[in-house]
Amino acid sequence: MRHFTEKEIQDFDKIYRLNLINSITGYKSANLIATQSATGASNLAVFSSITHLGSDPALLGFILRPTTVPRHTYSNLKETGWFTVNHISADVIKDAHHTSAKYPSEVSEFDQTQLEVEYKNGQGCPFVKNAPVQILCSYLNEYPIAENGTILIVGKMNAIYVEPQMVLEDGWIQLDKGKVVSINGLDGYALPQLLDRFEYARPKKN
């Protein structure tokens, strides 16, 4: 096996190290977080760090990079208290990835891509139209991570919208039925396929 020492990793070219460390931890969720500023400017950005935090109450979290430069997702959700999480499907990966480009706050990524904005039930927070899974979230808390200056954002799931064919009888969401992709590293998009499901694991009896 190829062996990377700590010194080698530190001495690598920045882009090589970035690719290596971002991809080595495995496939990650691929989502678009949509927000809107207090003045009505919408923002859309791809995130690969969203994770389940608990089901009762229904919580999720994501990692925000250091706010040493403007982070429009962060400023918007702090202003309004709301954001949406929208799963990325295979047919929109090029546009979804383009939302990582750095536009001024007054420029909406919806206007720079073919992705369409959608509003639901009078909510002032935008969703990505036709996303197979859409989650409306309210900001709850944040936890600074001292080691690298990132921030863990914690949100409560206030409403969930899912394509009907993806919802199984036991409440399980079969993501491959919505062509939901995952991210490998910073820029690699993959289409996972369900292999199997297993019953709740219990200790074996002799």
Confidence at residue 205, expressed as pLDDT on a 0 to 100 scale: 84
Please state, as a whole number, how many other Cβ atoms lie within 10 Å of the Cβ of residue 76: 25
| Chain centre to alpha carbon of residue 22 | 15
Confidence at residue 124, expressed as pLDDT on a 0 to 100 scale: 86
Write down how long the chain is: 206
Q: Identify which of 153, 121, 125 has the alpha carbon closest to the alpha carbon of residue 36.
A: 125
Confidence at residue 70, expressed as pLDDT on a 0 to 100 scale: 78
Confidence at residue 206, expressed as pLDDT on a 0 to 100 scale: 73
Confidence at residue 93, expressed as pLDDT on a 0 to 100 scale: 98
| 31 phi and psi angles, rounded to 5 deg | -140, 155
Task: Tell me how far apart the alpha carbons of residues 193 and 145 are, in angstroms, rounded to a whole number.
Answer: 34
121: its two tokens: 């039930």
**Degrees, nearest 5: CA angle 60-34-67:** 75
27-189 CATH fold? Pnp Oxidase; Chain A (2.30.110)
Confidence at residue 68, expressed as pLDDT on a 0 to 100 scale: 82
Looking at residue 19, what DSSP letter applies? H
27: its two tokens: 């496939």
Confidence at residue 162, expressed as pLDDT on a 0 to 100 scale: 98
pLDDT in tens, 73-110: 999 999 999 999 999 999 999 999 999 999 998 999 99
Low-confidence ranges of the chain (pLDDT < 70): none
Task: Tell me how far apart the alpha carbons of residues 75 and 61 are, in angstroms, rounded to a whole number.
Answer: 16
Q: Identify which of 163, 73, 90 has the alpha carbon closest to the alpha carbon of residue 126.
A: 73
Task: Tell me how far apart the alpha carbons of residues 91 and 50 are, in angstroms, rounded to a whole number.
Answer: 21
